[in-house]
Amino acid sequence: MPLRRGRTYPWRLLRAAVMMLGIAVSASAVHAIGASLDLPGKTAEEGTAVVKRSLKRLNTDCVEMDITLGSNWRCKTPFFSLVSLDIFVSTIPEKTVIRADSRNRQSYAFIDLVSNELGQPKYDKTYGEKSLLLTAGATLISPALGYWYVNSNSMIKNKSIFLPFLGFLAGDLALFWVSSKIYFTNGFDPFNVGLTSMLISMGTYRAVMLVPFSIQVMAHNRFVGLQITFRY
Protein backbone atom coordinates (compact mmCIF):
# COMPACT_ATOMS: atom_id res chain seq x y z
CA MET A 1 0.00 0.00 0.00
CA PRO A 2 1.44 3.40 -0.89
CA LEU A 3 2.32 5.64 1.99
CA ARG A 4 -0.07 8.52 2.50
CA ARG A 5 2.09 11.53 2.93
CA GLY A 6 1.25 14.65 4.85
CA ARG A 7 -1.01 13.29 7.61
CA THR A 8 1.43 12.71 10.44
CA TYR A 9 3.84 15.49 9.66
CA PRO A 10 1.67 18.38 10.88
CA TRP A 11 1.90 16.81 14.34
CA ARG A 12 5.66 16.71 14.02
CA LEU A 13 5.63 20.36 13.07
CA LEU A 14 3.41 21.13 16.07
CA ARG A 15 5.77 19.30 18.43
CA ALA A 16 8.69 21.15 16.91
CA ALA A 17 6.94 24.49 17.37
CA VAL A 18 6.21 23.68 21.02
CA MET A 19 9.83 22.68 21.55
CA MET A 20 11.03 25.89 19.90
CA LEU A 21 8.69 28.00 22.01
CA GLY A 22 9.89 26.27 25.17
CA ILE A 23 13.49 27.03 24.30
CA ALA A 24 12.73 30.67 23.65
CA VAL A 25 10.67 31.13 26.80
CA SER A 26 13.23 29.41 29.00
CA ALA A 27 15.94 31.52 27.41
CA SER A 28 14.25 34.84 28.09
CA ALA A 29 12.54 34.06 31.38
CA VAL A 30 14.12 35.56 34.48
CA HIS A 31 13.15 35.61 38.12
CA ALA A 32 11.97 38.87 39.63
CA ILE A 33 14.86 41.25 40.15
CA GLY A 34 14.65 43.53 43.16
CA ALA A 35 16.34 46.78 44.10
CA SER A 36 15.94 48.87 47.22
CA LEU A 37 16.84 52.24 48.70
CA ASP A 38 17.17 53.14 52.39
CA LEU A 39 15.79 56.48 53.58
CA PRO A 40 17.19 57.16 57.07
CA GLY A 41 14.97 59.38 59.19
CA LYS A 42 12.07 59.26 56.70
CA THR A 43 8.54 58.11 57.47
CA ALA A 44 6.52 55.70 55.35
CA GLU A 45 4.36 58.61 54.21
CA GLU A 46 7.42 60.53 53.02
CA GLY A 47 8.71 57.44 51.23
CA THR A 48 5.35 56.89 49.57
CA ALA A 49 5.24 60.53 48.45
CA VAL A 50 8.62 60.30 46.69
CA VAL A 51 7.56 57.06 44.99
CA LYS A 52 4.42 58.73 43.67
CA ARG A 53 6.44 61.69 42.37
CA SER A 54 8.84 59.32 40.62
CA LEU A 55 5.99 57.39 39.02
CA LYS A 56 4.42 60.62 37.81
CA ARG A 57 7.71 61.71 36.29
CA LEU A 58 7.96 58.31 34.60
CA ASN A 59 4.37 58.74 33.35
CA THR A 60 3.44 55.34 34.72
CA ASP A 61 0.24 54.30 36.50
CA CYS A 62 0.63 52.17 39.60
CA VAL A 63 -2.39 50.61 41.30
CA GLU A 64 -2.38 50.64 45.10
CA MET A 65 -2.71 47.10 46.46
CA ASP A 66 -4.72 46.02 49.51
CA ILE A 67 -2.40 43.06 49.98
CA THR A 68 0.83 44.76 51.05
CA LEU A 69 2.78 41.62 52.08
CA GLY A 70 3.85 43.22 55.33
CA SER A 71 4.83 46.61 53.92
CA ASN A 72 3.22 49.93 54.84
CA TRP A 73 2.25 50.68 51.24
CA ARG A 74 2.39 48.79 47.96
CA CYS A 75 1.48 49.47 44.34
CA LYS A 76 1.76 47.45 41.15
CA THR A 77 1.73 48.59 37.53
CA PRO A 78 -0.96 47.08 35.24
CA PHE A 79 0.05 44.12 33.08
CA PHE A 80 -0.23 46.24 29.91
CA SER A 81 2.14 48.94 31.20
CA LEU A 82 5.42 49.56 29.38
CA VAL A 83 7.14 49.74 32.76
CA SER A 84 6.52 46.67 34.92
CA LEU A 85 7.05 47.27 38.65
CA ASP A 86 5.90 45.97 42.01
CA ILE A 87 6.80 48.63 44.60
CA PHE A 88 6.88 48.37 48.40
CA VAL A 89 7.39 51.04 51.06
CA SER A 90 8.26 49.64 54.49
CA THR A 91 9.55 51.02 57.78
CA ILE A 92 12.08 49.54 60.13
CA PRO A 93 13.64 51.25 63.14
CA GLU A 94 14.94 54.71 62.20
CA LYS A 95 14.46 54.40 58.45
CA THR A 96 12.10 53.70 55.57
CA VAL A 97 12.94 51.26 52.79
CA ILE A 98 11.65 51.54 49.22
CA ARG A 99 11.84 48.31 47.24
CA ALA A 100 10.94 47.63 43.61
CA ASP A 101 10.66 44.25 41.88
CA SER A 102 10.54 43.71 38.12
CA ARG A 103 11.17 41.13 35.38
CA ASN A 104 14.46 42.75 34.45
CA ARG A 105 16.48 45.71 35.69
CA GLN A 106 13.58 48.13 35.47
CA SER A 107 13.58 47.89 39.27
CA TYR A 108 17.16 49.23 39.43
CA ALA A 109 16.34 52.01 36.98
CA PHE A 110 13.30 53.05 39.02
CA ILE A 111 15.27 53.11 42.28
CA ASP A 112 17.85 55.27 40.50
CA LEU A 113 15.00 57.63 39.59
CA VAL A 114 13.86 57.76 43.21
CA SER A 115 17.44 58.52 44.28
CA ASN A 116 17.52 61.34 41.75
CA GLU A 117 14.25 62.75 43.11
CA LEU A 118 15.83 62.85 46.56
CA GLY A 119 18.88 64.73 45.28
CA GLN A 120 21.30 61.97 46.18
CA PRO A 121 24.71 61.68 44.44
CA LYS A 122 24.49 60.94 40.74
CA TYR A 123 25.63 57.71 39.12
CA ASP A 124 27.92 57.52 36.08
CA LYS A 125 25.92 55.57 33.46
CA THR A 126 24.02 57.29 30.66
CA TYR A 127 22.32 55.80 27.61
CA GLY A 128 20.95 56.83 24.25
CA GLU A 129 17.60 55.94 22.74
CA LYS A 130 17.08 52.69 20.86
CA SER A 131 15.37 52.38 17.48
CA LEU A 132 12.18 50.41 16.99
CA LEU A 133 13.11 50.12 13.31
CA LEU A 134 16.45 48.49 14.16
CA THR A 135 14.67 46.26 16.67
CA ALA A 136 12.31 45.05 13.95
CA GLY A 137 15.12 44.59 11.43
CA ALA A 138 17.32 42.62 13.81
CA THR A 139 14.40 40.44 14.93
CA LEU A 140 13.38 39.69 11.34
CA ILE A 141 16.91 38.45 10.65
CA SER A 142 16.85 36.37 13.83
CA PRO A 143 15.09 36.79 17.20
CA ALA A 144 18.51 36.13 18.75
CA LEU A 145 19.85 39.31 17.14
CA GLY A 146 16.75 41.22 18.23
CA TYR A 147 17.25 40.06 21.80
CA TRP A 148 20.90 41.07 21.73
CA TYR A 149 20.13 44.54 20.38
CA VAL A 150 17.36 45.18 22.91
CA ASN A 151 19.37 44.09 25.95
CA SER A 152 22.83 45.39 25.10
CA ASN A 153 23.75 48.85 26.38
CA SER A 154 20.51 49.30 28.31
CA MET A 155 19.72 50.19 31.92
CA ILE A 156 16.86 47.67 31.95
CA LYS A 157 18.65 44.73 30.34
CA ASN A 158 18.27 41.22 31.70
CA LYS A 159 21.04 40.08 34.02
CA SER A 160 22.18 37.47 31.51
CA ILE A 161 22.41 38.25 27.80
CA PHE A 162 24.67 35.61 26.28
CA LEU A 163 22.87 32.44 27.43
CA PRO A 164 19.38 33.64 26.39
CA PHE A 165 20.92 34.75 23.08
CA LEU A 166 22.13 31.18 22.53
CA GLY A 167 18.67 29.88 23.46
CA PHE A 168 16.92 32.10 20.92
CA LEU A 169 19.49 31.14 18.29
CA ALA A 170 19.02 27.43 19.03
CA GLY A 171 15.24 27.79 18.81
CA ASP A 172 15.50 29.58 15.48
CA LEU A 173 17.86 26.98 14.02
CA ALA A 174 15.72 24.11 15.33
CA LEU A 175 12.60 25.55 13.72
CA PHE A 176 14.41 26.08 10.43
CA TRP A 177 15.82 22.54 10.41
CA VAL A 178 12.55 20.82 11.33
CA SER A 179 10.35 22.89 9.01
CA SER A 180 12.69 22.52 6.04
CA LYS A 181 12.96 18.77 6.64
CA ILE A 182 9.18 18.41 6.81
CA TYR A 183 8.36 20.68 3.89
CA PHE A 184 10.99 19.54 1.44
CA THR A 185 11.86 15.96 2.44
CA ASN A 186 8.55 14.54 3.58
CA GLY A 187 6.19 16.39 1.31
CA PHE A 188 4.01 18.24 3.83
CA ASP A 189 3.27 21.38 1.84
CA PRO A 190 -0.23 22.81 2.48
CA PHE A 191 0.39 25.82 0.23
CA ASN A 192 2.01 23.82 -2.57
CA VAL A 193 5.04 26.07 -2.25
CA GLY A 194 7.46 24.63 0.29
CA LEU A 195 9.53 27.76 0.70
CA THR A 196 6.46 29.91 1.34
CA SER A 197 5.20 27.51 3.99
CA MET A 198 8.53 27.47 5.75
CA LEU A 199 8.78 31.26 5.69
CA ILE A 200 5.31 31.53 7.20
CA SER A 201 6.35 29.45 10.21
CA MET A 202 9.64 31.32 10.59
CA GLY A 203 7.89 34.67 10.18
CA THR A 204 5.31 33.82 12.84
CA TYR A 205 8.09 33.15 15.33
CA ARG A 206 9.64 36.52 14.56
CA ALA A 207 6.34 38.38 14.77
CA VAL A 208 5.60 36.88 18.18
CA MET A 209 9.01 37.79 19.61
CA LEU A 210 8.88 41.31 18.15
CA VAL A 211 6.10 42.28 20.58
CA PRO A 212 8.02 41.96 23.90
CA PHE A 213 11.21 43.28 22.27
CA SER A 214 9.39 46.43 21.11
CA ILE A 215 7.84 46.95 24.54
CA GLN A 216 11.25 46.70 26.19
CA VAL A 217 12.71 49.23 23.75
CA MET A 218 9.89 51.69 24.48
CA ALA A 219 10.45 51.24 28.23
CA HIS A 220 14.19 51.84 27.71
CA ASN A 221 13.48 55.04 25.78
CA ARG A 222 11.12 56.25 28.49
CA PHE A 223 13.88 55.97 31.10
CA VAL A 224 16.33 57.65 28.71
CA GLY A 225 13.90 60.55 28.36
CA LEU A 226 14.20 61.26 32.09
CA GLN A 227 17.77 62.45 31.48
CA ILE A 228 19.15 60.97 34.69
CA THR A 229 22.15 58.75 35.39
CA PHE A 230 22.03 55.06 36.28
CA ARG A 231 24.06 52.54 38.24
CA TYR A 232 24.05 49.82 35.57
Confidence class for position 9, pLDDT limits 50, 70, 90: very low
Q: Which has more pLDDT, 156 or 176?
A: 156
Residue 94 backbone phi and psi in degrees, to 5: 75, 10
Per-residue pLDDT at 22: 56
Per-residue pLDDT at 160: 81
Q: Above 90 in pLDDT, residue 18?
A: no
Mean pLDDT throughout 139-166? 92
Among 74, 90, 117, which residue terminates a domain?
117
Q: Above 90 in pLDDT, residue 145?
A: yes
122 within some domain: no
- pLDDT 10s digits, 100-135: 999 889 999 999 999 999 988 889 899 999 999 999
184 within some domain: yes
Q: Which has more pLDDT, 3 or 207?
A: 207
Non-local CB neighbours of 97 within 8 Å, separated by 6+ positions: 36, 37, 38, 39, 47, 88, 89, 90, 91
The answer to which of 54-58, 81-85, 105-109, 183-187 has the lowest mean pLDDT is 183-187
Based on the fold, state whether residues 112 and 142 are members of the same structural domain: no
Mean pLDDT throughout 221-228? 96
Based on the fold, state whether residues 54 and 110 are members of the same structural domain: yes
- CB atoms closer than 10 angstroms to residue 49: 14
Full-model pTM: 0.81
Beta-sheet pairing, 33-40 with 63-64: unpaired
Nearest to 129 by CA among 198, 38, 227: 227
Based on the fold, state whether residues 132 and 25 are members of the same structural domain: yes
1 within some domain: no
- pLDDT 10s digits, 64-93: 999 999 999 999 999 999 999 999 999 998
232 within some domain: no
CATH number for position 70: 3.30.310.80
Based on the fold, state whether residues 141 and 203 are members of the same structural domain: yes
The domain of 136 spans 9-29+128-224
19 within some domain: yes
231 within some domain: no
Task: Please state the domain count of the chain.
Answer: 2
Per-residue pLDDT at 7: 43
The answer to which of 53-57, 110-114, 138-142, 183-187 has the lowest mean pLDDT is 183-187
Burial of 110 (C-beta count, 10 Å sphere; 0-12/13-18/19+): buried
The answer to which of 127-131, 150-154, 194-198, 210-214 has the lowest mean pLDDT is 194-198
Mean pLDDT throughout 133-146? 95
67 within some domain: yes
Q: Above 90 in pLDDT, residue 146?
A: yes
230 within some domain: no
Among 95, 117, 139, which residue terminates a domain?
117
Confidence class for position 197, pLDDT limits 50, 70, 90: low
What angle do the packed helices 9-28 and 194-224 form, to 10 degrees? Answer: 20
Based on the fold, state whether residues 91 and 79 are members of the same structural domain: yes
Among 117, 143, 169, which residue terminates a domain?
117
